[in-house]
Amino acid sequence: MGCLEPHHRPSSAHREIGSTNRALLPWLLSQRHKHNKACCPLEGVRPSPQQTEYRNKCEFLVGVGVDGEDNTVGCRLSKYKSGTCAVAAPFDTVHIPGATKQVVRAFQEFIRSTPYSAYDPETYSGHWKQLTVRTSRRGQAMAIAYFHPQNLSPEELAGLKTSLAQYFMEGPGKASGVTCLYFVEEGQRKTPSQEGLPLEHVAGDRCIREDVLGLTFRISPHAFFQVNTAAAEVLYTLIQDWAQLDAGSTVLDVCCGTGTIGLALARVSPTAPAGRTPNTAPVVPLPICCATPPCTSPSFTAPGHPGWV
């Protein structure tokens, strides 16, 4: 019994595709032969125009710092199963924006002024757990504080939220630039995902806005958005070039998140049929993974897109 030459042996990806559509197998094997075992030609990496301070969403844990200081906000150095829960401050990192670091500093100062300690994943004691910061090139910043309520009363929790809001909206934390503030009561986590946790809006706007290729997107706390906006524009422009859309094209944006790819493609059609604004193509968003409450669906301002608001 013969066997395939090495460059004809199907990889796991080819086997998966072949099991779904066996008619594609001859084409896949031919492509692997042409492209050095790959199913398509591979081009070089397209660099992002912004390679430092680019990350527009950052998640920080709260714990005991490497210096022993409680309620340190930053990055955990290892898993607690490995023997340490120490947290290192993020202020010397190059990928985190200065605006985000300002929010971290302000939040750290606030929680250190409270009587509540950092949550300990070994003993399940303590309160402060995490800070998520989302920023935009418009200078807006969203802060989401995660807090284990333990046995605190509703009145104590309400007082804490009021103090947090006053600190960032009117007090010393105002200089950090937070425009959108949320509070999450998170007990012992039962699943890895945090998207099912109830978010309580405590101050400021409910969303932040970001601009991508002439479109403005409203981003809610759990909405998916590329973490490097400038790199996303490079990617979407490349997709536009390769897609070669015209007025008769229909874009299916599967798992569209905030809809950035589909709407970016919809703007490049050179002509348009009667009744449709020029330079647009029809988009069918399929939000299998989408923004979550309080902004129950992503929204955006797209010049020339009637009906998309």
The tens digit of pLDDT for each residue in 85-128 reads 899 999 999 999 999 999 999 999 999 999 999 999 889 999 99
Q: Which of 78-82, 145-149, 156-160 has the lowest mean pLDDT?
A: 78-82
Q: 197 or 196, which is more confident?
A: 197
By the 10 Å C-beta count (0-12 exposed, 13-18 middle, 19+ buried), 47 is classed as exposed
* Structure token digits, residue 265: 């493609």
pLDDT at 255: 80
pLDDT at 49: 96
Q: 175 or 189, which is more confident?
A: 175
Report the CATH architecture of 57-205.
Answer: Beta Barrel (2.40)
- Distance CA(48)–CA(158), nearest Å, equals 43
User: Domain map of the chain by residue range?
Assistant: 7-40, 57-205, 212-301
Enter the pTM of the model.
0.80
pLDDT at 220: 94
Residue 277 CB: number of other CB atoms within 10 A?
14
Residue 92 CB: number of other CB atoms within 10 A?
8
State what percent of residues in the chain have pLDDT above 90.
54
The 8-class DSSP code of residue 8 comes to G
Residue type, 306: P
Residue 226 CB: number of other CB atoms within 10 A?
19
Q: Which of 169-183, 214-228, 282-296 has the lowest mean pLDDT?
A: 282-296
State how beta strands 141-147 and 128-135 pair. antiparallel
pLDDT at 192: 55
- What is the residue-averaged pLDDT of the chain? 82
Q: 175 or 284, which is more confident?
A: 175
pLDDT at 38: 83
pLDDT at 295: 39
* Structure token digits, residue 22: 């066996």
Tracing tokens 């210096």 back to the chain, one arrives at: 67
Please name every residue paired with 219 in a beta bridge, in sequence order, or none if there are none: 208
**Phi/psi-derived region of residue 26, left when phi > 0, alpha when psi is between -120 and 50, beta in every other case:** alpha
CA distances, 29 to each of 22, 26, 272 (Å): 12, 5, 39
- Distance CA(49)–CA(7), nearest Å, equals 37
Nearest Cα to Cα of residue 145 among 188, 113, 183 = 183
Is the pLDDT at 182 greater than 90? The verdict is yes
Q: What SS3 string covers 260-279? A: HHHHHHHCCCCCCCCCCCCC
Contact predicate 48/221, CB 8 Å: no
pLDDT at 230: 97
- Distance CA(173)–CA(145), nearest Å, equals 14
Has 150 been labeled as part of a binding site?
no
Residue 66, Cα to own-chain centre: how many angstroms? 28
Is the pLDDT at 76 greater than 50? The verdict is yes
Residue 220 CB: number of other CB atoms within 10 A?
25
CA atoms within 13 Å, Cβ hemisphere of 29: 12
Q: 259 or 69, which is more confident?
A: 69
Q: Which residues of 28-38 are buried (b: 16+ CB within 10 A; e: fewer)?
A: bbebbeeeeee
Please name every residue paired with 61 in a beta bridge, in sequence order, or none if there are none: 74, 130
